[in-house]
């Protein structure tokens, strides 16, 4: 593996340690990035995090194609991480640059409405958000009635992932697309002390856009909480 790719594994290590090994291992084995012996060695590790630590120690020894195949393996379930790794070669802004732009307010007119699914995936992998999503909802000024409805329905509607998705939907519905921005979301996360998640949102945004000055699109579908439609709506461009 070339030096640049090794550096990527180091710079994105914290995000990569949250990946579930068994979700990406079939592709890595099929593409001969991992041998059977390597796979068994990784599987012998006690925890998911230890498995990923072992994988990250092996990948740099597996040749120039290892990073490309690793990114391909990540893409189905961890698309936002795959985009981060690819963005390092694309000339896009790095997370620290985007954070400066966020602090300067350059993203104020960029809505999260077209990114709710990806943001939900980021949130659900952060245990602080999973355990305290309702506190974040209060900080978002979502009504107590709506929060109570989400709590009541989450057990049979998809658990925490559904609750987080519906919370974000409710925030966009209530706040409006033009004000439910990445900047505001990061501000709210930091207000609740969810700084790691805030940084992951910044990284996701930095890897998802070519330019910070894109107009938001009104692509958000109204939610239908409590009316029998418990699956997250399909979000499409219009």
| Nearest C-alpha neighbor of 185 from the set 134, 128, 96, 113 | 113
Which pLDDT value is given to residue 41? Answer: 94
**Residue at token pair 């072992």:** 54
Give the pLDDT of residue 208: 65
Tens of pLDDT, residue by residue over 54-91, are: 999 999 999 888 999 999 999 888 888 888 888 765 44
Residue 68: Cβ within 10 Å count: 14
Contact 161, 120 (CB under 8 A): yes
Condensed to tens digits (0 to 9), the pLDDT of residues 200-233 reads 888 788 766 544 444 434 334 444 454 343 445 4
Asked whether residue 193 carries a pLDDT value surpassing 90, the answer given is no
Give the residue among 108, 122, 103, 125 at the shortest CA–CA distance from 207: 122
Burial of residue 227 (number of CB atoms within 10 Å: 0-12, 13-18, 19+):
exposed
Share of residues in the chain with pLDDT > 90 (%):
38
The pLDDT tens digits of the residues spanning 33-46 come to: 999 999 999 999 99
Residue 20: per-residue pLDDT: 92
- State the pLDDT at residue 221: 41
Calculate the CA 6 to chain-centre distance. Answer: 22
pLDDT tens sequence across 93-130: 444 444 454 443 444 457 888 899 999 999 988 888 88
Confidence tier at 168 by pLDDT (50, 70, 90): very high
Domains of the chain by start residue, with CATH: 3-87 (1.10.533.10), 95-208 (1.10.533.10)
Distances (CA, A) of 81 to 110, 122, 150: 21, 10, 28
Q: pLDDT at position 33, please?
A: 94
**Residue pair 53/17 in contact by the 8 Å Cβ criterion:** yes
User: Is the pLDDT confidence value at 26 over 60?
Assistant: yes
């Amino acid at each position: 593996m070339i030096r640049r790719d090794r550096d990527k594994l180091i710079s994105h290590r914290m995000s990569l340690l949250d990946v579930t090994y068994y979700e990406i291992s079939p592709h890595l084995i099929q593409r001969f990035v991992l041998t059977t012996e390597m796979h068994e060695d990784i599987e012998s590790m006690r925890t998911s995090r230890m498995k990923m630590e072992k994988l990250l120690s092996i990948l740099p020894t597996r040749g120039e194609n290892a990073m490309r195949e690793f990114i391909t393996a990540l893409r189905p379930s961890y698309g936002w991480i795959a985009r981060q790794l690819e963005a390092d070669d694309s000339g896009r802004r790095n997370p620290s640059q985007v954070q400066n732009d966020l602090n300067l307010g350059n993203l104020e007119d960029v809505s999260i409405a077209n990114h709710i699914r990806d943001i939900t995936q980021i949130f659900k992998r952060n245990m602080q958000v999973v355990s305290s999503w309702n506190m974040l909802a209060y900080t978002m000024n979502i009504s107590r009635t709506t929060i109570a409805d989400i709590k009541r329905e989450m057990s049979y509607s998809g658990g925490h992932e559904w609750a987080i998705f519906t919370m974000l939907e409710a925030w966009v519905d209530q706040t409006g697309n033009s004000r439910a921005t990445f900047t505001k979301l990061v501000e709210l996360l930091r207000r609740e002390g969810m700084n790691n998640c805030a940084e992951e949102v910044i990284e996701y945004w930095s890897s998802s856009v070519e330019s910070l000055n894109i107009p938001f699109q009104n692509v958000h579908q109204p939610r239908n909480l409590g009316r029998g439609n418990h699956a997250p709506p399909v979000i499409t461009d219009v």
